[in-house]
Amino acid sequence: MIRKLASHYLSDKNKRTIKKYYRKLTKFFAHSMMSYDGEKLKAKLRKMGIGETDTLFVHANFKQDSGCKGTPLDVVNALIELVGLKGNLLMVSIPFRGTAYEYLKKQKPFRINKTMSMMGLITEMFRRKEGVRRSFHPTHPVLAYGKDSEWITSDHAMCVFPCGVGTPFDKFRQLNGKILFYDVGFGAITFFHYVEELIKDKLPFRVFHDELFSVKAYDYYDNEHIIKTYAYDRRTVRNTKILEDEMYKRNMIKTGRIGNSKFILVNAEDVVICQTTMVEEGNFPYDL
């Protein structure tokens, strides 16, 4: 009711002013009452079950009111210290917002050294970190740091299906990886596309567009390549909430929080099992 009254009686300028002060207030409260640093972050994630030899795929959002005392780079460094020396740290560095199909239609060249990640500040700081490798793919490049990073990111350019067999997502599964959602919802799960390709013949609709795109791409030495890739069919609407609810029912999801930050943790193999079983039972995680 308060929102309705405010929407009706306040001018747009007053609304913006109130929102501005509300954000400042929540940021102040988080930093003064709910703050945490890199050491506390690592301790919390270890308590959730993440070990130093794990392969961890992170989807993260740096919120001003999270309570985190550091910068996005400080978060990256903490995550690297958590698993990146004896294990592996992965993030996606997708270079667009919207759909892959629309992005590929623009025929923008992909430069592995320079094309920015549009997946948030944490991923972009990770991309720029010394020692981080990036897979060579125009729509779904994966960033990796750790003992297997070279193998994880290799040969992605050879895969016409961006998240399927032979891609970093496949290798991540082979390493019995874990997926961490850090201040983002389960809907950010790019690994969904990996399972989707595995079971695409069991789905009563198309996963990919028919068109095979050819994209100019430039490697670490600025050599030009042509990478061929399919785009996900934009008419097929994924509904990851259905998958998330089913995984909660099967006790396949761990949650946690520190300060004003929330975490969701799942095992890659559990995602494969749950998503595959759901489709086989006719419970499709899509809006049909």
Q: How confident is the model at residue 16 (pLDDT cuts 50, 70, 90)?
A: low
pLDDT in tens, 243-262: 999 999 999 999 999 999 99
Beta bridge partners of 238: 286
Helix 121-128 to helix 72-83 angle (10° resolution) is: 60
Helix 268-280 to helix 240-249 angle (10° resolution) is: 100
Pairing type for strands 208-218 and 110-111 reads: parallel
> What is the rounded CA–CA span in Å between residue 25 and residue 64?
11
Pairing type for strands 178-182 and 55-60 reads: parallel
Q: Which of 32-36, 159-163, 226-230 has the lowest mean pLDDT?
A: 32-36
Task: Return the percent helix, strand and coil in the chain, to nearest 5.
Answer: 40, 20, 40
Share of the chain above pLDDT 90, in %: 86
pLDDT in tens, 175-190: 999 999 999 999 999 9
Q: Which of 50-54, 61-65, 221-225 has the lowest mean pLDDT?
A: 61-65
Q: How confident is the model at residue 240 (pLDDT cuts 50, 70, 90)?
A: very high
Model pLDDT, residue 185: 97
> What is the rounded CA–CA span in Å between residue 38 and residue 33?
17
Mean pLDDT (whole number) for 2-10 = 56
Element (H, E) at 24: helix 12-33
Mean pLDDT (whole number) for 91-112 = 97
Beta bridge partners of 136: none
> What is the rounded CA–CA span in Å between residue 69 and residue 171?
34
Model pLDDT, residue 181: 98
* Contacts with 256 (C-beta within 8 Å, 6 or more apart), sequence order: 44, 45, 47, 48, 262, 263, 265
* Contacts with 214 (C-beta within 8 Å, 6 or more apart), sequence order: 226, 227, 228
- Is 89 or 22 the better-scoring residue by pLDDT? 89
- Is 151 or 30 the better-scoring residue by pLDDT? 151
Residue ranges of the domains in the chain?
Answer: 1-33, 36-280
> What is the rounded CA–CA span in Å between residue 112 and residue 41?
30
Model pLDDT, residue 285: 97
Pairing type for strands 224-232 and 208-218 reads: antiparallel
> What is the rounded CA–CA span in Å between residue 152 and residue 143?
9
Helix, strand or coil, per DSSP, at residue 7: helix
Model pLDDT, residue 84: 78
Q: How confident is the model at residue 99 (pLDDT cuts 50, 70, 90)?
A: very high
Question: φ and ψ at 52, to 5 degrees?
Answer: -75, -10
- Is 8 or 25 the better-scoring residue by pLDDT? 8
Q: How confident is the model at residue 205 (pLDDT cuts 50, 70, 90)?
A: very high
Distances (CA, A) of 229 to 13, 135, 172: 46, 14, 20
Mean pLDDT score of the chain: 92
Residue 10 has pLDDT above 90, yes or no: no
Residue 33 has pLDDT above 70, yes or no: no
Residue 18 has pLDDT above 60, yes or no: no
Residue 19 has pLDDT above 90, yes or no: no
Residue 21 has pLDDT above 60, yes or no: no
Model pLDDT, residue 17: 58
Per DSSP, the chain holds a count of helices (H) and strands (E) of 11, 10
